[in-house]
């Protein structure tokens, strides 16, 4: 279960912000660059989303609605239930970050990769992840306003305008220009992938620099971090079980259940980090910590599940377990990483 190299870069960026936080004029420059990076990220998201594939994917609407329900209904309900763990296991700021984690859309790249490895319904995973990202641009800020309240610094008309300008407008611009730039984006997807990952690193550096300047990290102790990891492990296990057994109860076949499990139990670091920067402002550093930890946890666990699902007999149903047992003759395989 290797650590995602990108997570190591994120941790290194956090370390850099702890040692050399941006202050004064440098902080203003970093904040402006971060705002531009967020807009560019969502422009690329819009340019990458194939409208034709999304429309074709609507034919499998039951699966997509189930993924959306898991992402934006079941996850938030579990997040609200975790309120009872404050202050026993979690501090209030960490709980706010955990609740925000439950409001973030599902992943796209890693859900597709794991679904493919497990021999699931890859087109459904593509559409489900894309729909989740699209809905999340609107749903995540609205849910944050309703459930987090003052934890996001208030949700005024100015906040709504800022979200529209930084997230929705660039995304729609990317969709509108996809006809002319879609080929360029496809041909240079590796280079642009490095650009958008670099943009996220800039967002993380800016957020954690602000946290360091304000001394926000004095609120977190190793014991609290351990409690947070335990809560997130339970959260992930519950969602993996619900998506697997729930898919069976709804009559989905093996391939669809695999797509549902991977798309419905995961959260997007790439979408969540920029959104947290907009919603939480100076308090974004603690808000994104639960998401960063959950991201690595979900990659490690889902890599194990995908590897073992890939060894299921062809033409037959999988073991009726959210995490199948490994056959004695199984050989090791290298799993993908993703966001």
Give pLDDT tens digits for 293-312: 898 889 889 988 988 888 87
pLDDT score of 47: 84
Task: Give the residue with greater pLDDT, 235 vs 175.
Answer: 235
Quick one: residue 91, left, alpha or beta (phi over 0 = left, psi -120 to 50 = alpha)? Answer: beta
pLDDT score of 333: 38
Please tell me the distance from the alpha carbon of residue 264 to that of residue 269, in angstroms, as a whole number. 15
Least confident of 4-13, 176-185, 229-238, 251-260: 4-13
Mean pLDDT of 256-270: 92
Instruction: Give the other-Cβ count within 10 Å of 66's Cβ.
Output: 22
Mean pLDDT of 158-182: 80
Domain coordinates of the chain in residue numbers?
Answer: 5-309
Quick one: pLDDT band at residue 243, thresholds 50, 70, 90?
A: very high
* Residue 248, pLDDT above cutoff 90: yes
* Residue 234, pLDDT above cutoff 90: yes
The CA distances from residue 273 to 97, 100, 140, 260, 285, in Å, are 11, 11, 12, 24, 10
In whole angstroms, what separates CA 271 from the centre of its chain?
A: 6
Q: Does the CA dihedral 222-227-231-237 come out positive or negative?
A: positive
Determine whether domain 5-309 maps to CATH 1.20.1530.20: yes
* Residue 335, pLDDT above cutoff 50: no
The CA distances from residue 241 to 71, 217, 244, 258, 318, in Å, are 14, 34, 5, 12, 14
Instruction: Report, in angstroms and rounded to the nearest whole number, the Rg of the chain calculated over CA atoms.
Output: 19
The winner for highest mean pLDDT among 43-47, 85-89, 272-276 is 85-89
Average confidence score pLDDT of the chain: 82
The pair phi, psi for residue 87, each rounded to 5°, is -100, 15
pLDDT score of 160: 63
* Residue 244, pLDDT above cutoff 90: yes
């Amino acid at each position: 279960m290797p650590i995602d190299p990108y997570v190591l870069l994120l941790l290194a960026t956090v370390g850099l912000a702890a040692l050399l936080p941006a202050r004064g004029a440098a902080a203003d420059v970093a904040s402006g660059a971060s705002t531009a990076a967020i807009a560019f990220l969502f422009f690329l998201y819009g340019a990458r989303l194939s409208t034709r594939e999304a429309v074709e994917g609507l034919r499998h609407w039951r699966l997509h609605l189930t993924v959306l329900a898991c992402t934006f209904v079941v996850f938030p309900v579990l997040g609200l239930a975790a309120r009872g763990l404050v202050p026993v296991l979690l501090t209030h700021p960490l709980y706010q970050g955990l609740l925000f984690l439950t409001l973030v859309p599902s992943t796209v790249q890693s859900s597709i990769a794991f679904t493919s490895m497990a021999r699931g319904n890859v087109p459904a995973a593509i559409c489900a992840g894309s729909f989740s990202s699209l809905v999340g641009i609107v749903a995540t800020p609205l849910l944050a306003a309703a459930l987090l309240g003052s934890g996001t610094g208030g949700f005024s008309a100015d906040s709504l305008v800022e979200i529209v300008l930084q997230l929705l407008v660039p995304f729609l611009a990317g969709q509108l220009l996809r006809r002319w730039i879609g080929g360029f984006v496809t041909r240079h997807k590796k280079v642009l992938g490095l650009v958008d990952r670099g943009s996220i690193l800039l967002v993380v550096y800016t957020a954690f620099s602000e946290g360091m300047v304000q001394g926000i990290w004095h609120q977190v102790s190793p014991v609290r971090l351990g409690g947070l990891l335990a809560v997130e492990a339970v959260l992930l296990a519950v969602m993996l079980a619900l998506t697997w057994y729930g898919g069976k109860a709804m009559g989905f076949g093996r391939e669809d259940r695999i797509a549902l499990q991977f798309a419905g139990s995961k959260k997007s670091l790439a979408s969540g980090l920029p959104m947290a920067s907009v919603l939480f402002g100076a308090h974004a550093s603690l808000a994104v910590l639960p998401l960063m930890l959950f991201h690595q946890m979900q990659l490690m666990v889902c890599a194990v599940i995908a590897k073992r699902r890939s060894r299921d007999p062809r033409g037959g149903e999988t073991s009726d377990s959210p995490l199948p047992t490994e056959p004695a003759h199984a050989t090791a395989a290298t799993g993908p990483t993703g966001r």
